[in-house]
Amino acid sequence: MTNCCENKSKELEQLRKGQKSVLIWVLIINAVMFVVEFAFGLISQSTALMADSLDMFGDATVYAFSLYVIYKGPIWRARAGLLKGLIMALFGVFVLGQALYRLYLGVVPEAEIMGVIGVLVLAANLVCLALLYRHRSDDINMRSTWICSRNDIVANLSVLVASAMVMWTQTLWPDTVVALGIAGLFLKSAFQVIAEANQELKANV
């Protein structure tokens, strides 16, 4: 029985070390890409790029919190999931407001910059998704982290579609539609993560 408990303890410790290493890498990638994408979002006047960059910032924030709770109990991990859901909801509302504001200004974004930066960010997020994949079912903390990364891929592909449509139509509508879509994705995922985190909290109270 003692050996069994010791083995389980070692397995758990190994799992936590693996999670920590992955979270550090995805935190660094997201922090760097936030700066790059937000800067070029401003330069290109693209709401979709800015929305996607804020998603990167949100992910970097929640990855940092995930690192903080990684060695804590299930209640703390559930709280981390709840925080992530709330952050996603806030970003969804923010992006919605930015999309409407840019629409009011009527500035057509620079499609070429959108496309180049979109491809770069997509590549970075594919790396993050691959790193997180085998930890996606470890616990609510890692699952919510993986969901964030999965949503990033969808958002990145949408930005690339928007850049092609802006180039083709020479209007701001594709950029606005994609930004609104990203906002909707944030909000939907936020409700999903919050619901799962609340269930986890109730189960461990």
Mind listing the pLDDT tens digit for each residue in 44-75?
A: 888 888 888 877 887 787 777 767 766 666 67
CB 175 within 8 A of CB 102: yes
68 in any annotated domain: yes
Q: Percentage of the chain with pLDDT > 70?
A: 80
5 in any annotated domain: no
Check residue 69 and give its pLDDT: 65
**Among 119, 106, 101, CA closest to 164:** 119
CB 183 within 8 A of CB 155: no
168-200 residue pLDDT tens: 998 888 888 888 887 787 788 778 878 877 887
Mean pLDDT score, 128-137: 74
DSSP state of 193: H
Buried b (16+ CB within 10 A) or exposed e, 128-139: bbebbeebeebb
Rounded distance, CA 107 to CA 84, Å? Answer: 32
Q: What is the CATH number of the domain that holds 72?
A: 1.20.1510.10
Check residue 160 and give its pLDDT: 92
2 in any annotated domain: no
Per-residue pLDDT band at 7 (split at 50, 70, 90) = very low
6 in any annotated domain: no
Maximum mean pLDDT: which of 31-35, 140-144, 189-193, 201-205: 31-35
Mean pLDDT score, 15-29: 76
The number of folded domains in the chain is 1
9 in any annotated domain: no
1 in any annotated domain: no
Tokens of 74: 């299930």
7 in any annotated domain: no
Check residue 205 and give its pLDDT: 64
72 in any annotated domain: yes
Low-confidence winner among 59-63, 108-112, 121-125, 156-160 (lowest mean pLDDT): 59-63
Higher-confidence position of 16 and 21: 21
Write down the residue that tokens 């070029």 correspond to.
40
Mean pLDDT score, 90-97: 81
Range of the domain at 64: 15-203
